[in-house]
Amino acid sequence: MVQFLVKRFIGLIFVVVGVTFITFILGYFAPGDPIRQQMGDHFDMQTWLQLRHAYGLDLPWYQQYSNFLVHLTRFDFGISFKYQGRPVWDILKDGVPVSAELGLWGLLVTVLLGIPVGIFSALKANTWLDTTNMSIALIIYALPPFVIAVLAQVIIVVLDKQMGGSWPSSTWGVPWLYDWADLQPKIVPILVYGAAGYAYFARLARTTMLEVLRQDYVRTARAKGLAERVVINRHALRNAMIPLVTVLGFAIGLLVTGAFFIEQIFNIPGIGKISLQSILERDYPVIQATVVLLAVCVVLGNLISDLLYTVVDPRIKSE
């Protein structure tokens, strides 16, 4: 197990380095000058040269990239182009808890609803319950998350207008506080965030469960006279969970980044909204930092997924 974790950690380093290099090169060769754009109508050659030197943009690309890696080892993401003199982490630190909260509760909605519904549909295959569950899941899965978000906002506004309510259609409460004033604006974005994942997990759980139920060892267990509950829980469910654990690892990796469109539509001050604003403003240090966070979280999510394999099926050993 220790050897496995060491290999994964080394792989994490290579993935992060590769992602940072690709991100840096794309920003380096992107057309235009971010410093010139930030100065706007107040462009001055002397000031422009001073700012380029202060940010190290007058250095060769390999020196810029090596400096970025050196700072990254100290968890220093550099200084923002847009907000001069402000560290990138100072910009991101308030958005990370918000995106993590949105992602965590959205994932719980996805897993705690999607997987049981999919397994139930598999056990009731080709009945009206199965047809109804999968039809709803297919409709939700076919709709892009931003469409569901806009529809949810429209419904909130209409209901508030007709019923004289005051349910918030945007913003976010204080992260990780759950009194009613803070919980109320979080409910709809979390449900919208979890909707697409719920539909995907429900369909995947049904498919994998049906495939497992057709296997010979399940037929043998039933032929031995074992109770259906024992056959499902002991023989079928664990094997059906293996593909779900694979997808779950990737979903865990996306927790910190949250949902870009949902944060933008609901005006949630998370990492996604900050990233979109940074892209529009060509604030490359902030973009690089969010990409690094995404890469680290995805790799860690897959590491957790690999470790969960041994829990779901002890026959799988990490080598």
Per-residue pLDDT tens over the stretch 47-69: 888 888 888 888 888 888 888 88
HSE of 294 in the Cβ direction (CA atoms, 13 Å)? Answer: 17
pLDDT computed for residue 315 by the predictor: 62
pLDDT computed for residue 120 by the predictor: 92
**Is the Cβ–Cβ distance between 34 and 283 less than 8 Å?**
yes
> Containing H/E element for 230?
helix 228-230
Note whether residue 52 is domain-resident: no
Residues 6+ apart with CB under 8 A from 157: 169
pLDDT computed for residue 187 by the predictor: 92
Burial 125-164 (b: 16+ CB within 10 A, else e): eeeeebeebbeebeebbeeebeebbeebbeebeeeeeeee
pLDDT computed for residue 1 by the predictor: 63
Identify any residues that bridge with 87 across adjacent strands, giving them in sequence order.
79
Whole-angstrom distance, CA of residue 2 vs CA of residue 37: 49
Identify any residues that bridge with 66 across adjacent strands, giving them in sequence order.
none
Angle at 182 between CA 180 and CA 183, to 5 degrees: 60
Note whether residue 251 is domain-resident: yes
Note whether residue 226 is domain-resident: yes
**Is the Cβ–Cβ distance between 119 and 205 less than 8 Å?**
yes
Note whether residue 72 is domain-resident: no
Q: In angstroms, how far is the first alpha carbon of the chain from the final one?
A: 7
**Is the Cβ–Cβ distance between 121 and 233 less than 8 Å?**
no
Which structural domain range is residue 111 located in?
A: 95-269
Residues 6+ apart with CB under 8 A from 63: 56
Note whether residue 293 is domain-resident: no
Note whether residue 84 is domain-resident: no
**For the chain, how many structural domains are there in total?**
1
**Is the Cβ–Cβ distance between 216 and 269 less than 8 Å?**
no
Render 245-279 in DSSP notation, one character per residue: HHHHHHHHHTTTT--HHHHHHTT--SHHHHHHHHH
**Is the Cβ–Cβ distance between 231 and 78 less than 8 Å?**
no
Write the single-letter amino acid at 135. S
Write the single-letter amino acid at 109. V
Angle at 69 between CA 52 and CA 4, to 5 degrees: 160
pTM over 0.75: yes
CATH (domain of 106): 1.10.3720.10
Note whether residue 54 is domain-resident: no
Q: How far is CA 239 from the centre of its chain?
A: 26
pLDDT computed for residue 127 by the predictor: 92
Identify any residues that bridge with 79 across adjacent strands, giving them in sequence order.
87
Note whether residue 278 is domain-resident: no
pLDDT computed for residue 260 by the predictor: 75
Question: Which residues of the chain fall below pLDDT 70?
Answer: 1-2, 4-5, 250, 253-259, 313-319
Six-digit token string for 54: 């202060």
Whole-angstrom distance, CA of residue 62 vs CA of residue 45: 25
